[in-house]
Amino acid sequence: MSNYHGPQAPNFSQHLAVSRPLMPKKHPITIDYSISSRSLGVGVNGKVLECTNKRTGEKRALKILRDVPKARREVDLHWRVAAHENIVNLIDIYENVYMGQRSLLVVMEWLALYICTCVNS
């Protein structure tokens, strides 16, 4: 029997306390955001477009997911850990129809400037 217990597993429980409940908005996202056709990327679960908050002018990333249980779980888990400093922050979540399909539209902070600054330094 070995006496080695290995490194301690990280404790993420402090980051799971979400101060606000996950409550997707039901009104059309286009009331709050202008959606660009500029693609920021494509992933396994959906594509990411650039969008702009109409009130503040802030650029954001918009992840478009088909509204299926797997996508809901992804959004729920992301929402729970978004308080962590190394996790992209979720700004808004919408339940809308996009391109004729029920979708979850996830508005996230846009990190393009931060990433470029880190890469270039």
Q: Is 26 annotated for ligand binding?
A: no
Q: Are 55 and 41 in contact (CB under 8 A)?
A: no
For the annotated binding site for ATP, the residues are 63
For the annotated binding site, the residues are 63
